[in-house]
Structure 1
Amino acid sequence: MLTRNMIRAVAGATLLVLALSGCSTMKGWFRGKDAEAKKAAEPAELVDFQATIKPRKIWSANLGDGEQRIGARQTPALADGRVYAAAAEGTVTALDLHTGKEAWRFKADKKEGLRLAGGPGVGEGLVVVGGLGGEVIALDAANGSERWRAKVTSEVIVAPLVVQGLVIVRSNDGRISTFDASSGERRWFSEHELPPLTVRGNAPLAYGPGVLFSGNDDGTLTAIALQDGRVLWEQMVGTGEGRTELERMSDVDSAPLIDGTQLFASSFKNRTIAIDGPSGRPMWQSEHGGIGGMAAAPSGLLLSSPAGTVYMLDKYSGAALWSQPALARRSLTGPVVHGDYAVVADYDGYVHWLSLADGQFVARERVGGKAVKGQPQVADGILVVQNVEGGLTAFRLD
């Protein structure tokens, strides 16, 4: 016969077994949820498709040490039949666009410790680059000789703008500094207050007749008089909402795009607006936002969302004409138009061609195993891609 104490002991043991079993089951639940969350955060696997075009690689070049984790989205500049590109180790190289043959190379003295971040700006016979120490260096576009140097108040991680006899530099502290293109003499500066937390990167400046357009880290777009730096108007693009600074990040981290008299700006906060350039009057807004640059196609506006979806928006309404979500979480570059196709590159060195008509994949190539962060560039039918290791690759469509 079981005594009362024996019954209590058996019951206690049973409960202990059940509790331990429950703990094991609960741990299994959490492990399952952790695995699901991890899988959901991973870059999308590339889908197979039947390629309908074959981009031809016509040349490649190694610039030297690339930007790696700087986060500056180094991008080449294409002008006058040449490719101008910077490497983080303090070199700037000019190559023939069609052959990749090197025309000249500028290399800073190693003792300087110069680290170049943003890509070069080209114009007025100059190639101008900025550094992580606030350096601004103007080179002769013909032969790469140094013309002048200047200094700004913070690191420069976006290409300077060279226009109308001026070199205009945006530094990472929200300041815009302007220099005389021929002498390097400082002209004027403009400041914009930064929010406590911002996305790593800046939007390159855009230029319209007599006006600079600056996308700002607080989600605004500002029109600035080129002559003296006066603010002409300011428009909100992305509104910072949420309880934390992280949730409230709304940087306009894509260069404003001018298409005729229409101006487009896009925010990290998943919002794009169209503005009448002369007046600053909003025309439409879309709840699809982009990073890393936009592109104007004959039929619409192309952008890559922070989540990795490529969109084509109607220029006149902002409605999505198509979307391609198969590159989710692959850290896409901004898109560019190459013939009848949209092109983006990703974190793993893949370059993707999509049909402008419907967003379907038509080709894919790889430019090494390193990430491409800067928006690809196109001139004379040639697409040029720069990866974070300092590699340049050029493609042509046959």
Structure 2
Amino acid sequence: MFTSTRGFSRRRFLGGSAFALAAGALGMPFIRTARAQVPTFKAGVITSLSGDNILGGNLTKRGYDLWADAINAKGGVEVGGDRFKVEMFYGDDQSNPATGADAAERLIVQNEVDVLFGPYTSGSTIAVQPICQKYQVPMISGSAESPNVWKAKPEFNFGIIPAVDTTAGKSLAVLVKISNPTAKTIAVISVNEPFSKETGEGFRDGAKKAGLDLVAYELVPAEGDLTPVISKIAALKPDIVAVGGHEEPLINVVKTSKSLDFRPKALIMHYGVTDPAFAQALAADANGTCGVAVWLPSVPYKDDLFGTAKEFAEIAKKKSGHEPDYTEAACAASGLVFGDAIKRLGKKPALKPENRVALKDAIAETDIHTFYGPIKFEKDGNHYHDNIQPVPVLIQIQDGKTVAVGPKDAAAAALTYPLPTWK
């Protein structure tokens, strides 16, 4: 039986008992639940179904549900030649890490889930990790991007999206490779708040690996006049300017650069370029800005459940009416990791406590190729249990549309480089 509910509901785990009591009082025969008749795997999803992060929370939910729908349509997860369907249970973190930890504990204790699928935000993910450790239940996180999640070396948590410090750095290598003439110098601007700072550090550290000369690294407040910083960087004439920040600071960088008549040969930002608000706020001035995506429908990956990346995107759009982004794709791929691990483990539902520990060990040995890309978890270092295998896709806004420009096998258009002057 596949059950989908919005948020965590007492009705889901009390309904059977209430019905049984009512049936006994009326002299009706007791009806066993579907789980008693046909064993199922129970998966708990913790994400933001309310609060400030509800939009991102819905992205993660859609991705996890896409996998559950697809695998259940095939009869369920395969174990020892038999198939077992998946039941989904939801815990709303209300966009609050502490609430997310409480929701995870309820899913484990009251719903007896076999596996958890992780929250939208890194903050909630970090808060849930001790709960996974306490109850020895593995979690597969399809959204968390902060390197701080993995620096803690979580034994029971596994990440699908590479941490932002790796994707930012790798994107510069892609940009340098396809730039003509080859870019040689870079300046990095980083907003002084956790996620943006981690992105800026990724650009800074990746510059050296990409063979770039770092001429400036500037930490700036989230709000305020950027004129002094942009003026300083303009005088250094870097080929590339890289920015770590959310939408508003990114927009301000472009506006300030234009006001000073400064345009580098390439402008790259990590988070925010794919947000429609960025292009809407800047109109034609957004053209030429590059960004980073971990996944796009144009990547050359496929698997047996979803088919190609393009076919997955078509399935997702048909169901929700929206083009899926890389977070939704990574969450769907989280289910593929669980299916592969449980098949190799060979344990049928319901899992015993020792089976869940063994499942964690099986997940740690994952080495698969999916529509999302390769998935293999690091076994040591600062990215312990994170999947840093995928090569980021370099995107660029061209004529108001976001297109992939690198690497070569994922490109849908040529990189505009160098960027034309504002005049």
TM-score range, shorter chain: under 0.3
Which one scores higher on RCO, CA 8 angstroms, separation ≥ 6? 2
Could you say which structure has the larger radius of gyration? 1
- Identify the structure with the greater strand proportion: 1
- Identify the structure with the greater helix proportion: 2
